[in-house]
Structure formats: C-alpha cells, structure tokens
Amino acid sequence: MSKRDLKKYLSELSKEQLEDQLIALYDKFSDVKVYYDFAFHPNEDKLIREAKFKISNEYFPVRGKKPKMRRSVAQKFIKHFRTLGVDVFLVADLMLYNLEIAQTLSAEKPIKQEVFYKSMLSSFQQAVAFLIEHGILSDFHDRVVAVKEETVTQNWFNQYDFTAVTERLEY
C-alpha cells in the first residue's frame, strides 16, 4: 500500500476507528509501544544511563566474568536511539563513551584479538562521521582527539588509522 492510499484510507475512518487502530498497533507491535512510550515520556538521560551501564558491563562485567567486549551491544543502542530521535548530543556522547570504556579495559590488560581493534576503529569512524553529519564535531573535538591519543599511548596496531581520521579533521 502506498502512502497516498494509506492517507486516503485513514481519512475515511472516524476518530474512534483511528483510535482503535492505533491501540491495536500499540498492543501488537512492540516497536510502536516503544515509540509512544518514548514520545510521551522521553526520559533520555535515564535511557543513556542504562545504555552506558550495559555497555560498561560488556567490558567490566558486574558478576566477575570474563569481558565479552561486544561492539554490537553499543551499536544496537546507538541505532535504537537514532531511530527514536534521541538528542544528537546524547547519542554522540554514547558513541564516544563506548570507545573510552573499551580503551579503559585495553589499558588495564592488553587485548590480543585483532578484531577488537578493527571494530573500535570502525566505531571511531562512525562516531566522527556522525559528529560531522550533525555539525557538532567542535563540541566533541577534545574527546575525539583524546581517543586517538589513547590509541597512540597504548600502541594499538592500527593507531595510524585513528590518526589519519583525526588529521582530516584539523581546521
């Protein structure tokens, strides 16, 4: 069904029929419920705090297990928050937090898996692209540079790739 057909169909419905359809969608599809819950109670700070806790738990598990270090956990939150329309400053903060917490773990105990460093580079590139896209790079420039500097300090094998990304940002 095209958007035009949908508009025509909806215009033919009464207010009560529209309400019934929205309630049915709310009950049937969790994405609709999440959207309306966020639309009416956009407690962005709480959502970000919970996301940061879950991301940090990937690197520093509460229950003393071995860190899983899954980049996908942070990526799911970032994608979800972008879909909901969470403030871009909060999303950017979360993107950089993911990198910073991973570097904290890496500083404590060196990580041998090359895929970890490659995924962190990918996260870094995505974060910088997001900051540029939304015109907020200047607000986060110091943190971006700090992430790059930490790769040099920790002697990551792909530190030059991080440096290359930040060199393109110089004004």
Residue-wise pLDDT for 64-78, tens only, equals 788 888 889 999 999
**The one-letter amino acid at 11:** S
Q: In sequence order, which ranges of the chain are alpha helices (DSSP H)?
A: 3-11, 15-28, 30-40, 44-59, 71-84, 88-108, 114-133, 137-153, 159-167
**The one-letter amino acid at 147:** V
User: 81-87 — which CB contacts under 8 Å span 24+ positions?
Assistant: 81/47, 81/48, 81/51, 84/34, 84/35, 84/38, 85/38, 86/42, 86/44, 86/47, 86/48, 87/44
pLDDT tens for 81-139 read 998 889 999 999 999 999 999 999 999 988 999 999 999 999 999 999 999 999 999 99
pLDDT tens for 134-163 read 999 999 999 999 999 999 999 999 999 999
Compute, in degrees rounded to 10, the torsion defined by CA atoms 52, 58, 62, 67: -160
Residue 171 has pLDDT above 60, yes or no: no
Q: Can you give the pLDDT at residue 63?
A: 82
Q: What's the chain's average pLDDT?
A: 91
State the Cα–Cα distance between residues 144 and 137, nearest whole angstrom: 9
Question: For residue 100, which of 66, 148, 67 has the smallest C-alpha distance?
Answer: 148
Q: Can you give the pLDDT at residue 158?
A: 96
Residue 30 has pLDDT above 90, yes or no: no
pTM of this structure: 0.82
Tokens encoding 77: 């939150």
Q: Can you give the pLDDT at residue 170?
A: 66
Q: How confident is the model at residue 6 (pLDDT cuts 50, 70, 90)?
A: confident
CA 85 to chain centre: 12
- Mean pLDDT value across residues 56-65: 88
